[in-house]
């Protein structure tokens, strides 16, 4: 079993301590003195960002999924051709220096659209001030992925007039963070810790199955395992996987299935989960289920992301890996 001494030994910059503070960071960010913004006649919102910043767009896409507003996620250099006067482009870069996101920002400036950008400073801040672009500066905590709640709840505060979500739903999500923190934080390194149990179980390559509504949590978990634990990870939508990916289990491998299930999954999706579990049992394939809590979509996603992110940190430390360094990413950035 993991102990605090081992955490401090391998998590040298104490990423875990920031995660212990996620509920407090979320609450302070949402209650901060940030001026909200409201755009009229919006039919299209483009969220642009990479990595941990891109994961924020995934969350907002889920929140906005039941509105009439068209949502586009850009994880790259190019804006869609459909950007027009009724479009808001929202470039997000925690570092402020992400080359892809800066390129999108520069492209948006040349178009007849609205722009609102977020970063912790860097080139994006400079560009926004020089070009009189709507901008909010948000604090970074150690790394973009560790800064997730700071940025998410700051953006929720600023973009709230545009979002189909009530203050009580946002406060509920923070309350749920406080509840789960008691179970998964470094103050509960016991057999009862859900994140730690999942981290100890993962020995091979995680295959993360998810329903469409939990895509944001699945992508985030895959990315966190890759960045923090430095392992390969795969994610697949459960219905699509039933038409192709399921065949891969006919051959023994080191891949381990993890099922991310939503409390309010569609009836046919629930049926599919049970069929998949039956298949795994009949073929002696060990799997794990992670179930969402009850509540609004924000509460479900952020609660699940918190549990899964922490599992990636614990997995790193259990394997004597420091979760913070990202030398291979740094290598690529230096070449750009």
> How confident is the model over 111-158, as pLDDT tens digits?
989 999 999 999 999 999 999 999 999 999 988 899 999 999 999 999
pLDDT at residue 65 in the model? 87
User: Average pLDDT of 218-234?
Assistant: 97
**What mean pLDDT do residues 40-63 have?**
92
Beta bridge partners of 135: 117
pLDDT value at residue 134? 94
pLDDT of residue 336: 82
pLDDT at site 115: 96
Task: Give me the chain's average pLDDT, please.
Answer: 95
How confident is the model at residue 178, as a pLDDT?
97
Other beta carbons less than 10 A from residue 209's beta carbon: 27
* Residue of 320, 311, 324, 321 lying closest to 201 (CA atoms): 311
Counting DSSP H helices and E strands in the chain, the numbers are 14, 9
Mode of pairing for the β-strands spanning 134-137 and 114-119:
parallel
User: Virtual CA dihedral for 200, 23, 148, 5, nearest 10 degrees?
Assistant: -40
Q: Which of 3.40.50.300, 3.30.43.10, 3.40.50.620, 3.40.50.10490 would CATH assign to domain 170-318?
A: 3.40.50.10490
- Strands across the sheet with 114-119, in order? 70-74, 44-48, 87-93, 114-119, 134-137
- pLDDT for residue 323 is more than 90: yes
Residue 186 · residue 20 · CB < 8 Å: yes
Q: Which two tokens stand for residue 192?
A: 């009862």
How do residues 154-203 score in pLDDT, each as one tens digit? 999 999 998 999 999 999 999 999 999 999 999 999 999 999 999 999 99
86 close to 42: Cβ distance less than 8 angstroms: yes
The bridge status of strand 288-291 relative to strand 114-119 is unpaired
CA distance readout (Å), 301 to 131, 306, 307, 309 = 35, 9, 10, 12
Residues of the chain with CATH 3.40.50.10490: 32-165, 170-318
CATH topology of domain 32-165: Rossmann fold (3.40.50)
Residue 334 clears pLDDT 90, i.e. is over it: no
pLDDT score, position 1: 77
Site of tokens 């990479």 = 50
- For the segment 259-270, the average pLDDT, to the nearest whole number, is 95
Q: In this structure, what are the phi and psi dihedrals at residue 11, rounded to the nearest 5 degrees?
A: -90, 75
- Kindly report the pTM of this predicted structure: 0.95
Measure the CA–CA gap between 170 and 157, rounded to whole angstroms: 9
d(CA 333, CA 336): 5
The per-residue pLDDT for 67 is 85
**Residue 122 near residue 78 (C-beta atoms within 8 A):** no
């Amino acid at each position: 079993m993991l102990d605090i001494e081992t955490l401090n030994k391998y998590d040298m910059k104490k990423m875990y301590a920031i995660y212990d503070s996620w509920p407090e960071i979320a609450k302070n960010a949402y209650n901060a003195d940030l001026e909200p913004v409201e755009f009229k006649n919006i039919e299209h919102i483009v969220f642009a960002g990479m990595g941990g910043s891109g994961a924020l767009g995934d969350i907002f896409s889920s929140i906005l999924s039941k509105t009439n507003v068209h949502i586009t996620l850009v994880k790259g250099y190019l804006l869609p051709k459909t950007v027009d006067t009724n479009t808001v482009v929202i470039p997000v870069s925690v570092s402020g220096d992400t080359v892809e996101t800066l390129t999108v920002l520069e492209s948006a400036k040349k178009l007849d659209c609205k722009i609102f950008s977020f970063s912790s400073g860097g080139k994006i801040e400079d560009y926004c001030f020089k070009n009189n672009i709507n901008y909010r500066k948000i604090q970074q905590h150690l790394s973009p992925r560790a800064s997730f709640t700071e940025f998410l709840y700051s953006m929720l505060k600023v973009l709230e007039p545009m979002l189909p979500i009530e203050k009580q739903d946002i406060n509920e999500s923070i309350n749920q963070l406080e509840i789960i923190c008691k179970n998964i934080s470094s103050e509960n390194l016991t057999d009862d810790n859900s994140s730690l149990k999942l981290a100890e179980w993962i020995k091979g390559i995680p295959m993360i199955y998810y329903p469409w509504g939990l895509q944001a949590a699945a992508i985030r978990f895959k990315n966190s395992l890759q960045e923090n634990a430095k392992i390969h990870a795969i994610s697949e939508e459960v219905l699509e996987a039933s038409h192709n990916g399921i065949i891969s289990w006919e051959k023994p491998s080191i891949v381990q299935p993890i099922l991310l299930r939503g409390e309010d999954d569609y009836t046919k999706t629930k049926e599919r989960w049970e069929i998949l579990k039956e298949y795994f049992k009949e073929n002696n394939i060990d799997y794990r289920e992670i179930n969402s809590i009850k509540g609004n979509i924000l509460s479900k996603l952020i609660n699940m992301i918190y549990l899964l992110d922490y599992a990636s940190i614990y997995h790193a430390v259990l394997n004597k890996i420091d979760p913070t360094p990202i030398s291979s990413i740094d290598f690529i950035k230096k070449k750009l």
